[in-house]
Structure 1
Amino acid sequence: MTIEGLRLKLLAIKRKRLSKFRKRKINKNKFTIISNNCWGGEVYESYDLIKQSPTIGLFFMASDYIKFIYNIKDYLKKELVFISPSDSMYYNQLKNDRFFGNYPVAKLGDIEIFFMHYTSKEQVIEKWQRRIKRINWDHILYKFNDQNGCTDYDVKMFDNLPVHNKVFFTVRKDFAKYKTAVKIKAPRSHKFICASYEPFGNSKYININELINNL
């Protein structure tokens, strides 16, 4: 197991152990997190809540996520079309990841989604459709980070997204200039933020309770 994998397992235990306590700190149980990776699912688990977003257990490449959130309602009307991982337009970027090829990949219009925590197309479709119906458009948070080919242009586009509730996690100093950015301390070797470094509850970097309460 990698260090990152071990950190994620330990954090999963911490999330669930204190979830009912955290739940008492928020003023709503129904809200949607649209995230470029698994962070949204981790937050729901941290507060002992059902998952109310289709963007759970998956990831987008950065530029595709920006396309997705700028036209989210149109994209959510489209049908998932599953493809072979080797046919992905991002194959050369992802092929060296030892897990790539072991989970479903689907196109949604002109973007791709990588369902890294799913085992079958049927599971993807069932949960995707069910969670779309749970979206609460009145209380919604958009979350982005500096993974998966994120560029300065992508962060600028996210910063300019015409919504009030959005947050961007980064380990990069050059991205910290953006108003949505939350700079996270990580080892110097990290070129982007790893999932285990993203705060899923209150931390010295951000108050997640407050973030939820203000949605």
Structure 2
Amino acid sequence: MNIKKIYREILRLPTNWSMRKKLNNRTASIIASNCVGGGVISHELGIRFNSPTVNLCMKPGDYLKFLSNLDFYLAQNFIECHIDGVSYPVGKLVDIYVYFVHYDTFEEAILKWRERCARIDKKNLFVMMVQRDGCTEDDIRAFSKLPYKNKVIFTAKEVKECPYAYYIPGTTSKNGDVINLCDYQGKFTGKRWIDEFDYVSFLNG
């Protein structure tokens, strides 16, 4: 039994209850560059995973390429890759790599990917990116130009020229990346860093 996890979940209860009560759009498909969007946010709000980008991550260039030709990539098949020093499954989708960080096997990851691809509602699509893993200012500008109405990129500093950039003070790491926004802000709080962004209003449109 993970006492720490149970303790955190108890601390989260009031926050999750309040957010779920305010959420009107319960069928959103969140396409995210890492776990913060499709995984954690959907879980906290108690909504179904309507996107394949759950419990995985993509590097900035690959994620932008994925979003730029979404229909094409969603229709392709994966090839399993073995990368030295990487203990979790990795798949190559034509020319981009998907890191299935929170899956035990490649087969499990692909099964879930296909299952969730079938749930995507392209009329109710929300796109999230985080400035990390080498994400540059050019990548931020490229993200802002993508043809998606509902999008946000969490940046390591204020980027006033990008209307889709959202900076959360205190979330910049020593190397200039955004920290893990799923982390809690303190030992005795149920508040995650991502809670500083009103994602309920974002999803409600």
TM-score (norm 2): 0.84
Structure 2 residue aligned with 1:184: 168
Aligned partner letter, 2:79 = V
Q: Secondary structure at the match of 1:101?
A: coil
Judged with a 3 Å threshold, the aligned counterparts in structure 2 of structure 1 residues 47 and 153 are, in CA distance, closer, same or farther, namely same
Decide which of 132, 152, 160 is 2:137's aligned counterpart.
152
Q: Deviations over 1:8-51 (max 9, x none)?
A: 99866655664343211011210111000001211011111121
Whether 2:104 is the aligned partner of 1:107: answer: no
Q: Is the 8 A contact 1:176 1:183 kept in 2?
A: no
Please report how far the alpha carbon of residue 58 of structure 1 lies from its aligned counterpart in structure 2 after TM superposition.
0.6
1:56–1:122 CA distance, 2 compared to 1 (3 A): same
Report matched runs for 1:90-129 at 5 Å.
100-129=85-114
Q: Structure 1 stretch 35-44 or stretch 186-195: which is displaced more?
A: 186-195
Q: Distance in 1 between matches of 2:89 and 2:136?
A: 25
* Whole-angstrom distance in 1 between the partners of 2:6 and 2:106: 25
Measure the CA separation in 1 of the matches of 2:104 and 2:165.
33
Q: How far off its partner does 1:164 sit?
A: 1.0
Deviations 1:155-204 (A, max 9, x none): 1110011121000101234x453111011112562511112367544x3x
What is residue 179 of structure 2 aligned with on the other side? 194
Where does structure 1 lack aligned partners over 5 or more consecutive residues? 1-7, 87-99
- Give the Cα–Cα distance (whole angstroms) in 2 for the partners of residues 146 and 183 of structure 1: 10
* Partner Cα distance (2:144, 2:101) in 1: 27
Residues 181, 30 of structure 1: alpha-carbon distance in 2 compared, 3 angstrom cutoff? same
Q: Per-residue deviation at 1:60? A: 0.6
Q: Segments of 4+ in structure 1 off by > 4 A?
A: 8-17
| Residue number in structure 2 paired with 1:73 | 71
- In the alignment, is the contact (CA less than 8 A) between 1:59 and 1:114 conserved in 2? yes
Residue by residue over 1:94-148, the C-alpha shift from the partner in whole angstroms, topping out at 9 and shown as x without a partner, is xxxxxx5110011001000111111101110110011001111111111111111
Aligned in 2, Cα 1:9/1:117: closer, same or farther, shift over 3 Å?
Answer: farther
Q: Partner residue of 1:212?
A: 203
- Distance in 2 between the 1:188 and 1:104 partners? 26
Give the 3 Å change call, closer, same or farther, for CA 156–83 of structure 1 in structure 2.
Answer: same
TM-score by length of 1: 0.80
